[in-house]
Structure formats: structure tokens, C-alpha cells
Structure 1
Amino acid sequence: MLRAVYAQAGFLVVPVASTSAAHDTTPVTLPGVGELPRNVATVCALTWACTPPPTGPDIHPNDTGYQTIATVFTAALADAPHNYRR
């Protein structure tokens, strides 16, 4: 619903959350952490959420997370209609 409302207002919504495998709870092993659902492991890999102090835990993206976000934005902008490129 929000995507439609924002699009109607002329904003491009980029599906950044799609990179977190939000609904995939398949068990995976994350080195140094152990077995986790895939969605949790993905959040751990893309943020500082599973990093011990003093760096973490922190919900902000790490370098890999920022690169992933940039890749999603680049793809979305490349596929966007011309009117989103202002």
C-alpha cells in the first residue's frame, strides 16, 4: 500500500528490505555465530547487529550492507521510468 501511495506522489520506492530474505527462515550456519534462520543470518551479515561490543550490536549497515543497498538502488534507478530521474 505504501509503495502505491508514494508512487502516486512521484516517489520511487526501492525494495531494500528484499535483500534481507525477510520471510526465509531456513536454518543456515553463520561462521562465528552458529545456526540461525536465513533472514537473521542475512541481517547479521549486512549489519553490525550480531557484532559484539564495542562495535555492536548496532542495526546500521556494515560495508557489505551499504554495498548491497547501493546495488539495489542502482538497479531500481536503472529500471525506473524517466520521470523518477530528476
Structure 2
Amino acid sequence: MIESTSKFEVVEIVYNKGSFAIAKGYWEGDKSKFFLACRWHEKDGIGYPQTFGKPQWMLLPTDGLEMDVLNSLSSSPKVQLSFS
């Protein structure tokens, strides 16, 4: 499950490989800025994180985070996260 939830509105999946995804979107309806969030997903399951059986997205820090998606068009994309 990599769609929007009640708290996180997915605008774009920026990385999705195997069962791990990172998305850009809006948190709790705040459309003044984008947030990054991640989750592990399963083809026929809920994935992680989840709360009371409902899929959730885990927000990544908004300060001091840089993300580069390397080789995004290749069959082996890589994500590089840098925290300062």
C-alpha cells in the first residue's frame, strides 16, 4: 500500500524498490510545503508502519535532510539521504 492515508497525501512516489518506498506529499492537509515520508509495503498486505490495521507513512525530518535519487531511470535506482 503506497497510496495516500488520512494524514499523508501522496503527491509523488520518489523512490519505490522492492518493498520500500519514499514519497513526497502533504501532511495533515498543510499544502504550504511538501514533506517526505517512507514506508515498507507488501503486495498483498498492509506493510509497516501501521496503526490498528491501517497503513501509515513515517515522516522524515524536515530540517537538515537532503535527498538525492541516483540513477532514478535505471532498473537499480539508489537513494542517498544526508542528515546534518
Alignment TM-score, normalising by the size of structure 2: 0.22
Structure in which a larger fraction of residues adopt helix:
1
Structure in which a larger fraction of residues adopt strand:
2
Larger Rg: 1
Alignment TM-score, normalising by the size of structure 1: 0.22
